[in-house]
């Protein structure tokens, strides 16, 4: 038993010397190729075996012939180990270079819409995982690029529409002001009222732009309070009733039901959420023909909170436009009731921004004869 422990001690000391030399070599060569590092590891393992064997042989006084045989065996193992390490290192380096080339190619082609193409052939588990992560990252970058392009397009469209919408009332205001100044206005009172109406319209447009800029900048400050969703609906209906009467549209709101919606409160900023419902109602009223109906409903959705829906009779939205309805500046008019544009196409974008700031979401779908906008809000914590 003592002999075995002694041999183990001598073998450990010899191997430890080789291990220390190998660690020093790896540190000195840490910036070199992977082939060099793998070769050093293989050489360290063989050298540790050789030094351990020599230490044991010297302590046990093996014959010279036996020591020579053992040394030759270890040297042959060293040759095979080093050759295997070099082949393995070169293969891994080649796969790493191919992955790096694919990444550079993707970086060069990304601006032109290129996508990441992982290199063909096998690879180590780590390189394969890295390739999958690069492919997933490339997919997210491509999606982000498409969103950025769509946002840029909507911004350019918005600037064009805003320029047109501002130019028209400003030209009218100038003409009316000149008529009043020259004393040629047949009905000054009517001109004064028209100037006031156009000024209010411009003020509303500027207010929408300011609100949208706050939403996009993440500077929308909310003051949430606990309230019934029917309070919000009632305030919005009361505010939209004069416009509905002017357009000959009937507003229909479901009476509060004892269960389950009325029993589910929400925690929202009342002012901002009233603006959301007001924008939806104004949009629905203006798109619904005279003698049409705009219906507001409230219901609880299992696992989703409270749903407030506004259904109009606009004739529907083309399927290809449904995904753009809440985009900034969208004002699609085909397949809908033809009406003159009443704003800059910011109302629905503001709706989505405010609802998402409340951790909710806004949706739209076509229904027979029109479309239904839904605002899904989380329920207030119990």
- Number of Cβ atoms within 10 Å of the Cβ of 31: 7
Q: Which residue has the higher pLDDT, 45 or 304?
A: 45
pTM assigned to the model? 0.56
Q: Is residue 240 a contact partner of residue 310, using CB atoms and an 8 Å limit?
A: no
| Distance of alpha carbon 310 from alpha carbon 56, whole angstroms | 89
Indicate whether 222 pLDDT > 50: yes
Tell me the pLDDT tens digit for each residue of 140-189: 887 888 878 777 776 777 677 777 777 777 888 888 888 888 887 778 88
The pLDDT value recorded for residue 372 is 93
Q: What is the mean pLDDT of residues 327-338?
A: 55
Considering 22-26, 42-46, 281-285, 346-350, the range whose residues carry the highest mean pLDDT is 281-285
The pLDDT value recorded for residue 235 is 86
Q: Average pLDDT, whole number, for the chain?
A: 77
Q: Is 180 exposed, middle or buried (0-12, 13-18, 19+ CB in 10 A)?
A: middle
Considering 29-38, 127-136, 140-149, 169-178, the range whose residues carry the highest mean pLDDT is 169-178
Phi-psi bin for 16: left (phi > 0), alpha (psi -120 to 50), beta?
Answer: alpha
Considering 83-87, 89-93, 254-258, 355-359, the range whose residues carry the highest mean pLDDT is 355-359
CA-nearest of 357, 27, 364 to 214 is 357
The pLDDT value recorded for residue 249 is 92
What angle in degrees, to the nearest 10, is found between the helix axes of 188-216 and 347-357? 40
Q: What is the mean pLDDT of residues 248-262?
A: 66
């Amino acid at each position: 038993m003592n002999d075995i422990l002694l041999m183990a001690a001598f073998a450990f000391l010899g191997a430890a010397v080789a291990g220390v030399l190998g660690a020093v070599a790896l540190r000195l060569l840490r910036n070199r190729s992977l082939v060099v590092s793998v070769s050093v590891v293989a050489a360290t393992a063989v050298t540790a075996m050789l030094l351990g064997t020599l230490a044991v042989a010297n302590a046990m006084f093996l014959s010279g012939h036996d020591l020579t045989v053992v040394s030759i065996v270890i040297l042959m193992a060293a040759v095979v180990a080093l050759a295997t390490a070099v082949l393995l290192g070169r293969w891994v380096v080649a796969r790493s270079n191919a992955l790096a080339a694919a990444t550079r190619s993707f970086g060069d082609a990304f601006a032109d819409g290129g996508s990441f193409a992982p290199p063909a052939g096998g690879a180590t588990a780590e390189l394969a995982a890295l390739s999958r992560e690069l492919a997933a990252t490339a997919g997210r970058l491509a999606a982000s690029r498409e969103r950025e392009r769509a946002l840029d397009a909507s911004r350019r469209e918005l600037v064009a529409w805003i320029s047109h919408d501002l130019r028209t009332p400003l030209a009218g205001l100038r003409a009316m002001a000149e008529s009043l100044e020259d004393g040629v206005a047949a009905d000054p009172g009517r001109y004064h009222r028209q100037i006031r109406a156009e000024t209010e319209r411009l003020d509303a447009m500027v207010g929408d732009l300011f609100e949208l800029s706050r939403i996009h900048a993440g500077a929308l400050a909310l003051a949430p309070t606990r309230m019934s969703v029917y309070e919000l609906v009632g305030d919005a209906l009361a505010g939209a009733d004069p416009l509905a009467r002017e357009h000959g549209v009937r507003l229909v709101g479901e009476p509060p039901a004892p269960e389950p919606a009325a029993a589910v409160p929400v925690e929202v900023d009342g002012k901002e959420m009233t603006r959301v419902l007001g924008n939806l109602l104004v949009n629905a009223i203006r798109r619904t023909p005279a003698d049409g109906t705009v219906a507001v409903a409230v219901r609880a959705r299992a696992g989703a909170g409270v749903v407030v829906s506004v259904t109009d009779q606009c004739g529907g939205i083309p399927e290809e436009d449904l995904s753009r309805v809440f985009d900034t500046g969208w004002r699609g008019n085909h397949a809908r009731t033809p009406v003159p544009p009443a704003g800059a196409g910011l109302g629905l974008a503001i709706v989505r921004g405010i609802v998402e700031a409340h951790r909710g979401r806004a949706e739209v779908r076509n229904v027979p004869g029109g479309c239904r906008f839904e605002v899904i809000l989380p329920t207030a914590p119990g």
